Structure 1
Amino acid sequence: MLRATSLFITLGLSHSAWALVPPDYQEPPSDFSAEIEAGLQINTGNTESSSFNGRTKLVYDTDKFRQEGVFKAYFASDSEKTTSEKYDVQLQSSYKIYSGYIFARGDFTEDRFGSYTRISTVSTGYGFDAISGDSTKLSLEVGPGYRYNLPQVSESVPDPEADREIILRTAAKFEQKIHEYTSFNADLTAETGEANNTVTLDMSYKNTLFQDWAFKIGMNIKYTEVVPEGSKQTDTVTTFNLLYTFK
Structure 2
Amino acid sequence: MIRATLLFVTLTLSYSAWALVPPDYQEPPSDFSAEIEAGLQINTGNTDSSSFNGRTKLVYDTTAYRQEGVIKAYYAADAEKTTSEKYDLQLQSSYKFYSGYVFARGDFIKDRFGSYTRSSTVSTGYGFDAISDNNTRLSLEVGPGYRYNLPAVTDDIPDPAADRDIILRTAAKFEQRIHEYTSFNADLTAEAGKENNTLTLDLSYKNTLFQDWAFKIGMNVKYTEVVPEGSKQTDTVTTFNLLYTFQ
Shorter-chain TM band:
over 0.9
The CA distance in 2 between the partners of 1:13 and 1:19, in whole Å, is: 10
SS, match of residue 28 in structure 1:
coil
Q: Counterpart of 1:25 in structure 2: which amino acid?
A: Y
The CA distance in 2 between the partners of 1:40 and 1:16, in whole Å, is: 51
What is the match of residue 68 of structure 1?
Answer: 68
Q: Counterpart of 1:199 in structure 2: which amino acid?
A: L
State the 1:74 CA deviation: 0.5
Q: Which runs of 4+ in 1 moved over 3 A?
A: none
SS, match of residue 114 in structure 2:
coil
TM-score (norm 1): 0.95
The CA distance in 2 between the partners of 1:133 and 1:16, in whole Å, is: 40
State the 1:5 CA deviation: 1.9
The CA distance in 2 between the partners of 1:14 and 1:131, in whole Å, is: 48
State the 1:52 CA deviation: 1.4
TM-score (norm 2): 0.95
State the 1:11 CA deviation: 1.4
* Aligned-pair Cα RMSD in Å: 1.1
Q: Does the Cα contact within 8 Å between 1:130 and 1:139 map onto a contact in 2?
A: yes
The CA distance in 2 between the partners of 1:176 and 1:11, in whole Å, is: 49
What is the match of residue 138 of structure 2?
Answer: 138
Greater relative contact order structure (CA < 8 Å, 6+ sep): 1
In the alignment, structure 2 segments of 5+ residues that lack a partner are 42-48
Q: Does the Cα contact within 8 Å between 1:38 and 1:54 map onto a contact in 2?
A: yes
SS, match of residue 36 in structure 1:
strand
State the 1:40 CA deviation: 4.5
Q: Does the Cα contact within 8 Å between 1:40 and 1:239 map onto a contact in 2?
A: no
SS, match of residue 30 in structure 1:
coil
What is the match of residue 185 of structure 2?
Answer: 185
Q: Counterpart of 1:158 in structure 2: which amino acid?
A: P
What is the match of residue 6 of structure 1?
Answer: 6
- 9-18 or 124-133, larger mean C-alpha shift: 9-18
The CA distance in 2 between the partners of 1:158 and 1:130, in whole Å, is: 47
1:46-75: CA deviations, max 9, x gaps? xxx862100000000000000000000001
Query: 1:66-215 alignment to 2 at 5 Å?
Result: 66-215=66-215
Counting matched residue pairs gives: 240
State the 1:214 CA deviation: 0.5
In the alignment, structure 1 segments of 5+ residues that lack a partner are 42-48
State the 1:4 CA deviation: 2.5
